[in-house]
Structure 1
Amino acid sequence: MSARLRVLLVGAGRMGARHAKVIAANERCDLIRVVDPCERTGRAVAEQVGAAWRPELDTLSDVNAVMVAACTEVHHDLAVQILRQGKPLLVEKPLCDDFAACREVVRLADQRDIPLMCGLLERYNPAVMTAMTIVDSPLHMTSVRRAPYASRIRTGVAWDLLVHDIDVALRVFGGRLPDTVNATTGYFHSQSAERAEDVVDAVLRFPGGRLATASASRVDQRRLRTIVITEIDRVVEVDLLHNEVLVVRQAGDSTIVDTPDLVSARTPLETQLDRFLDIVGGDICGRAERRSILPVHHVISSILDTVPVSAVA
């Protein structure tokens, strides 16, 4: 049996705490240290999982891999620091909130052939995974993602939420980048950072005239995450919050609705962690994983570039 990998976690906020529990429960690795500048938060998470706490990142000589779940604004600097020490890295989405910075991080990992993964978590949502096994000839995809306002998140809704659905759209349409991108944004909440959009609606046109429309809002009063994929003779409806998939088709005057079994009963974080460990262990191609990171970041950057400066409050 191979030795358990020693993992360090950076970030002990809401998402970091979830990662800590999943890492600690995995039989293939040990969470040895939690890094967070806030002692109260960092110590609390570390003690829950039997790990040490440190206020800042220092030497990584005693760890095999690092996971970053800190705020987006520090992703780039942390990623560069970690990769320069040669450590495999998983960074929560987005990799960075600037496409040039994303390219720099991926290029550094490529140059040193270091495993790098971005936490595009819907890839591992059981409902999305199930839908991907069903979809054959997609023509149109629509996605709606809504969430209540969270003042702790300083990046705009495109990088924070829409990135998930754009990533799914790219996969639905075979990994191709769209031919055209158009978007409209809204800036509404008084607590949002300058130039951080609260609502975004985007339309992507893919080769062959196929379309994806994606809408995300962080000023709603409830959470909603749905995807509908249309083919010529059926529709695949996905409820990402409740892990439900419906396949709907017409037969004469009747509507037939099938409910396929999910391909996995595991949580997205559990599946994602195992994939990361497989990449670190060389069981999955690290180069292919790195190549899968930039396309969605490129599209999000393109979406934001379509918004006139005058539209920003």
Structure 2
Amino acid sequence: MKRVLLVGAGEVGAKHLDALAGADGLTVAGVADPFPRAALPPNTPVFASWHAALAALSPQLVVVAAPPGIALAAARGAAAAGAMVVVEKPATLDPAALAPQPGDERIFVGFQPHFAPGLDGLLARLPAVERAEVVLAVQRDPGYFRDWRRAYATAGGVLHQQAIHGLTLALRLLSSAVETVDAEVAHLRGLAESEDRVTADLTLAGGRTLHVAASIDQPGPPRHEVFLHLADGRRLAVRGRNLEAGLGDPADAPTHEQLRRRMYSAVLNAAWQPPHPCLFPLSALRRPLEVIDRVYRDARRVRATGAVAA
């Protein structure tokens, strides 16, 4: 059995515990969190710090589900200790912090929806995409924005926390540089520092375009999808609540626990063979964060009164 250390046992950590509970060949050897809120497996050792947990357990896999900032330091500490690492997005809000360091090749970002049906072939071939659209429509109530999510400095905005799975997938397929950005960020409900909606139109080198429409105040069934318009005329739809259907039938979509288990296996295998095409290296996260930063920097700000702040 491979020993797994979970760093951070809050809302996201609980989702990893659910996935790990059914993962063949993996056992949760310990949890690093001074105040765990998730229900832990019986007799699971709990450590106040990831430093102490790494020293005591020598895990083969470390899953980091801590807030941005803490997450990056913990992931790099685990990699330096010899573990393979999955770190939850966005890991950091500072693109410069992702300048390569020794050990970063052992760290992969937790984009489990990128393991959805059909995306392995798509990411292995990297077809020419002329235009992409990222659509997010979910309902997040004020209670969601608590603790570390309340402040932009510790949580980031909707693009960092909500739409990053689809945005990053689109940017993996649109590799050219961003030339222009036309964006609007709307703050309508006063949810701490977070916005309710982001719309953006990006023009990339070569005439390629990316449209983003992300809303967290939308009633109805949640959706997070990516539409790809290829140079050969095909249109591909990556569908689901959070892309989990991939290119397949939404009725046959795998669960998020299944997608996470595929990701854990791929990360462990990357210790001795070329990485699976769906894995997302830590080093590759810098570009999406730079694009997100530019969208927020250049966006018009709309407040509840209807006034626009540049």
TM range (shorter): 0.7 to 0.9
Q: Distance in 2 between matches of 1:158 and 1:9?
A: 25
- Provide closer, same or farther for how the CA distance between residues 260 and 217 of structure 1 changes in structure 2, counting only shifts above 3 A: closer
1:167 corresponds to 2:168: yes
Name the residue aligned to 2:95: 99
Partner amino acid for 1:45?
L
What SS does the corresponding residue of 1:230 show, helix, strand or coil? Answer: strand
What SS does the corresponding residue of 1:274 show, helix, strand or coil? Answer: helix
What SS does the corresponding residue of 1:233 show, helix, strand or coil? Answer: coil
Deviation, structure 1 residue 262: 7.7
For normalisation by structure 1, the TM-score amounts to 0.76
- Provide closer, same or farther for how the CA distance between residues 264 and 182 of structure 1 changes in structure 2, counting only shifts above 3 A: same
Q: Distance in 2 between matches of 1:260 and 1:125?
A: 11
- Provide closer, same or farther for how the CA distance between residues 115 and 137 of structure 1 changes in structure 2, counting only shifts above 3 A: closer
Preserved contact between residue 125 and residue 267 of structure 1 (Cα < 8 Å): no
Q: Which of 274, 279, 286 pairs up with 1:284?
A: 274
What SS does the corresponding residue of 1:282 show, helix, strand or coil? Answer: coil
Name the residue aligned to 2:106: 115
Deviation, structure 1 residue 19: 0.8
Name the residue aligned to 2:296: 304
Q: Distance in 1 between matches of 2:51 and 2:252?
A: 42
What SS does the corresponding residue of 2:129 show, helix, strand or coil? Answer: coil
What SS does the corresponding residue of 2:62 show, helix, strand or coil? Answer: strand
Name the residue aligned to 2:68: 72
Deviation, structure 1 residue 113: 5.7
Deviation, structure 1 residue 84: 5.0
1:46 corresponds to 2:41: yes
Deviation, structure 1 residue 125: 2.4
What SS does the corresponding residue of 2:178 show, helix, strand or coil? Answer: coil
Deviation, structure 1 residue 278: 1.3
1:58 corresponds to 2:51: yes
Preserved contact between residue 158 and residue 197 of structure 1 (Cα < 8 Å): no
- Provide closer, same or farther for how the CA distance between residues 277 and 188 of structure 1 changes in structure 2, counting only shifts above 3 A: same
Q: Which structure's CA Rg is the greater one?
A: 1
Q: Distance in 1 between matches of 2:31 and 2:46?
A: 5
Q: Distance in 2 between matches of 1:312 and 1:90?
A: 38
Identity %: 22
Q: Distance in 2 between matches of 1:46 and 1:235?
A: 44
- Provide closer, same or farther for how the CA distance between residues 121 and 305 of structure 1 changes in structure 2, counting only shifts above 3 A: farther
Q: Distance in 2 between matches of 1:128 and 1:181?
A: 27
1:144 corresponds to 2:146: no
Deviation, structure 1 residue 114: 5.2
Preserved contact between residue 112 and residue 263 of structure 2 (Cα < 8 Å): yes
Name the residue aligned to 2:10: 13
Q: Distance in 2 between matches of 1:169 and 1:192?
A: 29
Structure 1 stretch displaced more, 162-171 or 226-235: 226-235
Unpaired runs of 5+ in structure 1? 247-258
Name the residue aligned to 2:208: 210
Partner amino acid for 2:192?
S
Preserved contact between residue 127 and residue 239 of structure 1 (Cα < 8 Å): no
For normalisation by structure 2, the TM-score amounts to 0.77
Q: Distance in 1 between matches of 2:192 and 2:122?
A: 34
**Count of paired positions:** 285
CA RMSD of aligned residues (A): 3.4
Q: Distance in 2 between matches of 1:91 and 1:288?
A: 10
- Provide closer, same or farther for how the CA distance between residues 18 and 243 of structure 1 changes in structure 2, counting only shifts above 3 A: same
* Matching of residues 151-162 of structure 1 within 5 Å: 151-152=145-146, 153-154=149-150, 155=155, 156-162=157-163
Name the residue aligned to 1:243: 245
Deviations 1:61-115 (A, max 9, x none): 3223321112235323433544554543221000212222333xxx23xx24650
Partner amino acid for 1:199?
R
